[in-house]
Amino acid sequence: MFDNLINKSAAKSPWLFHINAGSCNGCDIELVAGLTPRYDAERLGFRLAGTPRHADIVVVTGPITAQIKDRVLRTIEQDPEPRCIVTMGSCPASGNVFKDGYPYAGPLSKYVDVDVDIAGCAAKPETVLEGLYQAAQILEQKRKAMKNKGGQI
Amino acid sequence: MFNWMWLFYILVFPGALFCFVGGTLLNGLDRKVYAKMQQRIGPPILQPFYDFMKLMGKETIIPYEANKPVFLGAPVVGFVALVTIMLLLPQFGFSAFGDINADMIVIIYLLTIPAASIIIGGAASGSPYAGVGISREMVSVISFELPLVMVLLAIGRKAGGDGVTFSMKAIADYQAANGAMICQWSMIPAALAMLLVVPCEVGCHPFDVAEAETEICEGPLVEYSGAPLGVFKLNYYVKQLVVSGLFAALFLGGKGTGIVAADAVIFYVECLVVTFFSMTLIRASLARLKVEQVFKFYWTVVAGLALVSLVLAWFGL
Ligand code: SF4
């Protein structure tokens, strides 16, 4: 009975969890800028969650370094389904300027399915909001798919 | 003697359904006003409802270390306790379970159960962050308990005439006869103290030491996900309604209109006003306190205010 409502709510209340995977701090600042009163991500329901267990969208910034790779994957695993993985900035998608560095452990998409790539170095808050909004729509699709598969809720 | 009316009271008004709808709406309005104070558009008023619904649809992960029945049962216990408090609060002339002697003492005990459910649930999850969180939660319970009891004693003495009354009904009757408690000058310090007890009891922003999400990852709630987390969030919304309702019942009573529905609306508006002054305003203007600051603040300033009223009431003023 409530399924429709739950599916709709999934898109309206996406909570974020932010992982810094060796970023230069540029993207982290821009993500926080998207949450400030000026851009006001809360009007779309976004909220920064304190722990991956509460989150719907995992935002990864920075190139995935060899040191942090396992931790990032483990943190993503701790996130309950349905979840979306968003990479922010050019770093997690391509390596950017860190590409030839010895600690670079490859793009995130090598290890997990990435749902949305937000481009830019650093990505602008407007782009971030746009990308996160798309991720929220994908969440709704995922929730529907999960229900149809008869997965646990 | 079983009365069918009781079922309606418990399930619909002023019980579970009223708490659910009223609580989520109250929290939504609170967040909207909070956003306006920061000059942003803010979330839709139904946002808490969406949050709750979404959490109901998420996967529930139970950690390997956790004690499953306690981990899942704790949030429900907290919710039931809150609904029970709502049933005991008189709304002007109307009160669901009318003439119970000494229900104020029951309310004091019931008010600690939501906090206890957070503590127990956190302890059952077996996470070290929850460990830090529950120790902080205990400190905040101890901090607001003393001023709260002193405020209730002062009111009981004031309304009791010669003795001390512990009946919410007697307090409501006293206010119906003599006007709202907040208009008595000797009760104004107690009202201020109670206004400051409300946010700590609810655990909202400047006093949310236990759930400091930037320091200890939401403390006791760190391992919760999905439906149990949803119920904990719901507890938070309902706690806002119930504790501001307690303030309204204690200080803003009166004759009312005599019509239950109209009284309920006035009561709800009073809850909104209390929420604005005690939670939204303080939350928007202050940064989070440290644990020991909370403790010190409540046992000196707030308890001092309550003591002033208690002494005045004892001398019959
Ligand atoms: S994309 Fe650019 S700004 Fe963002 S973390 Fe990489 S180097 Fe820094």
A48-to-A15, A56, A58, B51, B81 alpha-carbon distances in Å: 6, 10, 10, 13, 29
Contacts of B221 in chain A (CB under 8 A): 51, 54
Whether A23 contacts A90, CB under 8 Å: no
User: Where do the structural domains in chain A lie, given as residue ranges?
Assistant: 14-148
CA atoms within 13 A on the CB side of B70: 15
User: Is B289 part of any domain?
Assistant: yes
Q: Is the pLDDT of residue B17 over 80?
A: yes
User: Is B2 part of any domain?
Assistant: no
ipTM of model: 0.85
Q: Residue A153's pLDDT is what?
A: 43
User: pLDDT, tens digit, for every residue of B217-245?
Assistant: 677 787 888 888 888 888 888 888 888 88
Least confident of A20-24, A66-70, A114-118, B287-291: B287-291
Distance separating alpha carbons of residues B114 and B79, to the nearest angstrom: 7
User: pLDDT, tens digit, for every residue of B58-75?
Assistant: 888 887 877 788 888 888
Check CB contact under 8 Å for A54 and B50. Answer: no
Q: Residue B233's pLDDT is what?
A: 87
> Nearest C-alpha of chain B: how many angstroms from A96?
29
User: pLDDT, tens digit, for every residue of B265-310?
Assistant: 887 888 888 888 888 888 888 777 778 888 888 888 888 888 888 8
Q: Does A80 touch chain B (CB under 8 A)?
A: yes
Q: Residue B198's pLDDT is what?
A: 85
Compare B185 and B27 and report the one with higher pLDDT.
Answer: B27
Q: Could you tell me the distance, in angstroms and rounded to a whole number, from the CA of residue A80 to the centre of ligand 1?
A: 28
Q: Residue B1's pLDDT is what?
A: 54
Q: Residue B210's pLDDT is what?
A: 66
Contacts of A56 in chain B (CB under 8 A): 54, 58
Q: Does A1 touch chain B (CB under 8 A)?
A: no
Q: Is the pLDDT of residue B98 over 70?
A: no
Least confident of A22-31, B56-65, B109-118: B56-65
Q: Residue B2's pLDDT is what?
A: 65
Level-2 CATH architecture, domain A14-148:
3-Layer(aba) Sandwich (3.40)
Nearest to B272 by CA among B240, B236, B234: B240
Q: Is the pLDDT of residue A97 over 80?
A: yes
Distance separating alpha carbons of residues B220 and B250, to the nearest angstrom: 31
Residue of A121, A127, A128 with the most ligand 1 atoms within 8 Å of its CB, for mutation: A121
Q: Could you tell me the distance, in angstroms and rounded to a whole number, from the CA of residue A82 to the centre of ligand 1?
A: 27
Name B183's Cβ contacts closer than 8 Å, sequence gap at least 6: none
User: pLDDT, tens digit, for every residue of B168-224?
Assistant: 777 777 777 777 777 777 788 888 888 888 888 877 777 776 666 666 667 778 788
Whether A122 contacts A65, CB under 8 Å: no
Residue A62 Cβ < 6 Å to ligand 1 = yes
* Whole-number average pLDDT of chain A: 84
pTM of the model: 0.85
Whether B246 contacts B89, CB under 8 Å: yes
Q: Is the pLDDT of residue B124 over 60?
A: yes
Q: Could you tell me the distance, in angstroms and rounded to a whole number, from the CA of residue A127 to the centre of ligand 1?
A: 14
3-state SS of chain B is CCCHHHHHHHHCCCCHHHHHHHHHHHHHHHHHHHHHHCCCCCCCCCHHHHHHHHHHCCCCCCCCCCCHHHHHHHHHHHHHHHHHHHHHCCECCECCCCCCCCHHHHHHHHHHHHHHHHHHHHHHHCCHHHHHHHHHHHHHHHHHHHHHHHHHHHHHHHHHCCCCCCCHHHHHHHHHHHCCHHHCHHHHHHHHHHHHHHHHHHCCHHHCHHHCHHHHCCHHHCCCCHHHHHHHHHHHHHHHHHHHHHHHHHHCCCCCCCCHHHHHHHHHHHHHHHHHHHHHHHHHHCCCCCHHHHHHHHHHHHHHHHHHHHHHHHCCC
Whether B115 contacts B148, CB under 8 Å: no
Best B53, B54, B217 member to test A by mutation, with max A CBs in 10 Å, is B54
Q: Residue B189: which domain range? A: 8-314
